[in-house]
Amino acid sequence: MMLDTLPPLREVIRAYGLDARKSLGQNFLLDLNITSKIARSAGSLEDHVVVEIGPGPGGLTRALLAHGAARVVAIERDPRCLPALQAIADAYPGRLTIIEGDALKIDPRDYLEGMPARIVANLPYNVGTMLLIGWLRAEPWPPFYSSMTLMFQREVAERITGTPERPHDYGRLGVLANWRCETKILFDLPPAAFTPPPKVTSSVVRLVPRPVLAPCRLETLERVTSTAFAQRRKMIRQSLKSLGDPMALAAAAGLDGSERPETLPIETFLALANALDAR
């Protein structure tokens, strides 16, 4: 596929010596058909700034720009990638802002210039969940982004989209993600789609912020879910003991205490959190 007049990614990697580093979670996508599919699945990009974490040699960055992103703000920790990214910026004047640094420490809001944003990334697996949790905790809500289209290991994608119908995958991450967003696995990519191939299948997940589902203090909700799921097979009259008087909490949320956390819908966790705050 010809997306642009820039050289093929394998050539870019060779020219700039971008051999993949495991410590930086580097599994590159070199097939522009695949990066285009991800860019297309992110929705309309014309009126948006796209925040991309970890552009690496720039395969997804190029697809986002070719598919019409008004601007891309790309945050990359590996300085070796900067010259390759600069070549993309030169090919798309005024549309690519490259920021060198650790995405965990950089606030993308500083670079949006008042435009609506979408987050799109093939995330480094070692910090992907942490980044997602940071975006899900954004205040005020609705947040600065109108969607997130993100690559994760399949197992993490299943936890993000987890519900009580799939108790094995359901936990604190599923409660937080689905309280704040509508979540959906869009498609899978096999290890062979990446260079070097990771050990497991990956999935692209789409998260779209919901209006507030039910008001609740984020910190209290996280306290309740982490306490409950720390002993996920126990009844909540046992697993919520450390929060004090678990039977009163259960009753306030319409439960009898014999339920297990993995069977409880999000609304029940919200009720438990609100009951805890009302004490």
* Site for ligand SAM, rule CB under 6 A: 24-29, 53-56, 59-60, 75-78, 81, 102-104, 122, 124, 127
CA count, 13 A, side-chain hemisphere, 108: 28
Give kind and range of the element (H or E) at residue 274: helix 266-277
> Closer CB to ligand SAM, residue 200 or residue 230?
200
- Distance of alpha carbon 74 from alpha carbon 98, whole angstroms: 5
For ligand SAM, give the closer residue by CB, 75 or 157: 75
CA-CA distance, 145 to 113, in Å (whole number)? 13
Question: Residue 53 or residue 276: which is nearer to ligand SAM going by CB?
Answer: 53
Least CB distance to ligand SAM at residue 121 (A): 7
- Nearest-approach distance from CB 105 to ligand SAM, in angstroms: 8
- CA dihedral angle for residue 77, residue 82, residue 85, residue 86, rounded to 10 degrees: 140
What does the alpha-carbon distance between residue 86 and residue 98 come to, in Å, rounded to a whole number? 8
Q: The sheet that has 96-100: what strands, in order across it? A: 96-100, 71-76, 49-53, 117-122, 145-153, 202-209, 181-189
Choose between 48 and 275: whose C-beta lies nearer to ligand SAM.
48
Which is nearer to ligand SAM, 38 or 236 (by Cβ)? 38
| Cβ at position 179, least distance to ligand SAM in Å | 26
Residue with smaller CB distance to ligand SAM, 69 or 175: 69
- The residue with its CB nearest to ligand SAM is 54
Neighbours of 256 (CB within 10 A): 11
Gap between the Cα atoms of 146 and 45, Å rounded: 11
- The dihedral through the CA atoms of 134, 141, 219, 221 has a sign that is negative
Evaluate whether 175 touches 221 at the Cβ level (below 8 Å).
yes
Contacts of 136 by beta carbon, 8 Å cutoff, 6+ apart:
176, 177, 180, 181, 207
The CB-of-29 to ligand SAM minimum distance in angstroms stands at 4
Shortest distance, position 276 Cβ to ligand SAM, whole Å: 34
Q: Mark 115-137 as b/e (b = at least 16 C-beta within 10 Å).
A: eebbbbbbbbbebbbebbeebbe
CB of 76 to ligand SAM, least distance (A): 5
Nearer to ligand SAM, 76 or 262 (CB): 76
Which one, 76 or 158, has the nearer CB to ligand SAM? 76
Q: How far is the CB of 135 from ligand SAM (least distance, A)?
A: 13
Q: How far is the CB of 271 from ligand SAM (least distance, A)?
A: 36
SS (HEC) of 101-137 = CCHHHCCHHHHCCCCCEEEEEECCCCCHHHHHHHHHC
